[in-house]
Amino acid sequence: GAVVSQHPSRVICKSGTSVKIECRSLDFQATTMFWYRQFPKQSLMLMATSNEGSKATYEQGVEKDKFLINHASLTLSTLTVTSAHPEDSSFYICSAQTGGDHPYQPQHFGDGTRLSIL
C-alpha cells in the first residue's frame, strides 16, 4: 500500500528557532500533498495544499511567512516553521494522495510530528 514517511517524529527546540519537517511518499509519486495541524483533543485542521513545482495554497488564517512549504519533487514536501514560538507547538501531520485530483481515493498520512517550542 501507499506509504508516507514523515520526519522527525518529535522536535523540542527553543523559541526563535526554525524547524523543518519532511514528508515523503515512499512508493508512489504525489503531485499534491497536504499539511494539517492538530491541537490536543481536536480535529485536523488543513493548513495548506502543497503542489509540486508551484506555490502552495494556504487556507484562510494560515500565515504564509510563518509556515513555509516547499514541494520540490514528486516525493518530497517540506514544512518549515520559521522563528517558532510556544504557540506554534502542536502536532503537524502531512498526507498525500495516489492517483489524480479527484475525491475517490483516500489520503495516506505520515505518522505526524509533535513540535514543542520552549
Partner 1 sequence: AQKITQTQPGMFVQEKEAVTLDCTYDTSDQSYGLFWYKQPSSGEMIFLIYQGSYDEQNATEGRYSLNFQKARKSANLVISASQLGDSAMYFCAMREGGGGGFKTIFGAGTRLFVKA
Residues that bind partner 1 (CB under 8 A): 32, 34, 42-44, 46, 49, 57, 91, 93, 95, 101-112, 114
Question: Is 105 or 116 the residue whose CB approaches partner 1 more closely?
Answer: 105
As given in the structure block, the three cell numbers for residue 74 are: 514528486
Q: Which is nearer to partner 1, 77 or 95 (CB)?
A: 95
Q: What CA–CA distance (Å, rounded) separates 34 from 51?
A: 9
Count other Cβ atoms within 10 Å, centred on residue 69.
Answer: 24
Shortest distance, CB of residue 104 to partner 1, whole angstroms?
5
30 exposure class (CB count in 10 Å sphere: 0-12, 13-18, 19+): buried
Distance, in Å, from the CA atom of 80 to the CA atom of 21, rounded to the nearest integer, reads 6
Q: Shortest distance, CB of residue 65 to partner 1, whole angstroms?
A: 22
Q: How far is the CB of 7 from partner 1 (least distance, A)?
A: 14
Choice between 20 and 114, CB closer to partner 1: 114
